[in-house]
Amino acid sequence: MLAQDVWEIQKDDKLYMIPVVKEFIMSVDIKAKKVVVQLIDGLIEE
């Protein structure tokens, strides 16, 4: 069981799980379907 919400974000052919915490989520534009995140090193693999 997770302690916080997690968003699944797809970019190209990869799926990323991003914790929904204020330190990572910079802005959300629902109308434009755009989320801006600030990630820490090692959170996702490139």
Determine the pLDDT at residue 35: 87
Q: What is the pLDDT of residues 20-43, one digit of tens each?
A: 888 888 999 999 999 898 887 877
- Mean pLDDT across 12-27: 87
Q: What is the rounded distance in angstroms from the CA atom of residue 44 to the CA atom of residue 22? A: 17
Determine the pLDDT at residue 32: 96
- Mean pLDDT across 6-13: 85
Determine the pLDDT at residue 2: 58
Determine the pLDDT at residue 10: 83
pTM comes to 0.61
